[in-house]
Amino acid sequence: MGLWENCVQTFDAGLQASGLRVVRSQRSIATGITTTKMNTIESPPSLKFITLGNKQTNISTDGSDSSSNLGFKFRVISYNILAQVYVKSSNFPHSPPSCLKWKTRSNAVSEVLKSFNADFLCLQELDKFDEFYKDKIMNYGYSCIYVKRSRQKLDGCGIFYNQRRAELISKVEIEYNDLVDILSSGSASDKNENTDELTNDLPKHWPYSWRNSSDAAVRLERDCVGLFAAFTLNCPSQNIIILANTHIYWDPKWADVKLAQVEYLLIRLARYREEISKKYNCNPSIILAGDFNSLPGDMVYKHLTSSEKENELDLNLCSLYASLGGEPAFTNYTPDFTGTLDYIFISKNSELKPVSLLEIPGPDSPKLDGGLPNTNYPSDHLPIGADFEVCTSSKPL
């Protein structure tokens, strides 16, 4: 059985092995959650970051045992905040009606984002950007970059960053719809991209039918996006890091499309790292965050963490939570689906040392009663995050 025939079966097998059942709907993939409706809106739940201490991990700092801590720490949060355009009572019948109203949710989401006290916020399903979130979150001391989903979609991905702690030096928007044009004509929306080399880097195992533009458009035109950004940290060593944020297609039946998007993401990210490395004579650490709509152990997850890439553009990534004790039991929690879909990946040979992880509440937490969103959490997803410490200055290549 080939990779593409196997990826869908692997996804469904992973669900069954986890004791989950697949529900073929756009926003859900769950278990018996007792729904309890309450109508009062509470303050954001208190955050707990677990200090890692000397916990063993396969993340090596700068590839050296003699790396030194520079004392500069920063926090990264990744959060699918649930776009208001998808908030309908029919999608979330278990949620208190008051929790689904825009006025209530907008205030709740903004308060939650403020409570993170993060240096970088990677947000997915970010809609109403210009009319609400941009100014609201910038009032908290952030600057931001944003990419809206293709065509008529209303949400997108955004990175908010503390402008006192980091300086944006470069950004690249990723549109996965470009795969259609690349396969059919070798063009891409990014005019600076060498599309001949990019086309050569595309995996040779991709179905030949995708070389037909009509078939590629049907399968690959899903309007999903991503965002890359390079930052100089405002620390004495002025380390450069690359932060990537993405939202991969949702449908379990289209696991081949998810895999294609992730492969394209990694190709573009590897080329972006090469570009930043040459331009700034550095070896930047990579943090890749997002909603990957994929369970631990399926083909997408394995490809992200595998070091055996056909195109030899290996980023040597590992999942942060998995490396430090295990993936959360879930990051999405509704009566129709409970599972882990959200991840933070980091380059293994990194100048960054994770020093604490945002704790994810367990299934017995009263804060999750009834499923999400509820009076405690304004999204159907839970945030994930970590604190990092800079261990060495950026090495010249």
At residue 25, the pLDDT reads 36
Local structure of 257: helix, strand or coil: helix
Q: What is the pLDDT of residues 280-305, one digit of tens each?
A: 999 999 999 999 999 999 999 999 99
Q: Which residues pair with 339 in a beta bridge?
A: 332
At residue 26, the pLDDT reads 40
Q: How far is CA 217 from the centre of its chain?
A: 24
At residue 196, the pLDDT reads 63
At residue 181, the pLDDT reads 86
Count the neighbouring beta carbons within 10 Å of the beta carbon of residue 13. Answer: 14
- Residues, the chain: 397
Query: Which helix (H) or strand (E) is 195 found in, with range?
Result: helix 195-201
At residue 27, the pLDDT reads 44
User: Encoding tokens for residue 49?
Assistant: 């970051």
Q: In angstroms, rounded to a whole number, what is the distance separating the alpha carbons of residues 206 and 49?
A: 41
Local structure of 358: helix, strand or coil: strand
Query: Which helix (H) or strand (E) is 213 found in, with range?
Result: helix 213-220
Q: Which residue positions in the chain have pLDDT lower than 70?
A: 1-42, 55-70, 185-199, 204-205, 208-209, 211-213, 307-313, 393-397
Q: In angstroms, rounded to a whole number, what is the distance separating the alpha carbons of residues 258 and 252?
A: 9
Helix count and strand count (H, E) for the chain: 10, 17
At residue 197, the pLDDT reads 66
pTM for this structure?
0.86
**Domain 3-177+222-390, architecture per CATH:** 4-Layer Sandwich (3.60)
E strand segments, 292-364: 317-319, 332-334, 337-339, 342-347, 349-350, 352-358
At residue 187, the pLDDT reads 52
At residue 182, the pLDDT reads 85
Q: In angstroms, rounded to a whole number, what is the distance separating the alpha carbons of residues 374 and 261?
A: 31
At residue 251, the pLDDT reads 95
At residue 30, the pLDDT reads 40
Q: Hunting for tokens 């059919």 — which residue is that?
A: 184
At residue 378, the pLDDT reads 97
Nearest by Cα to 202 from 272, 124, 242, 261: 261
Q: Which residues pair with 142 in a beta bridge?
A: 162
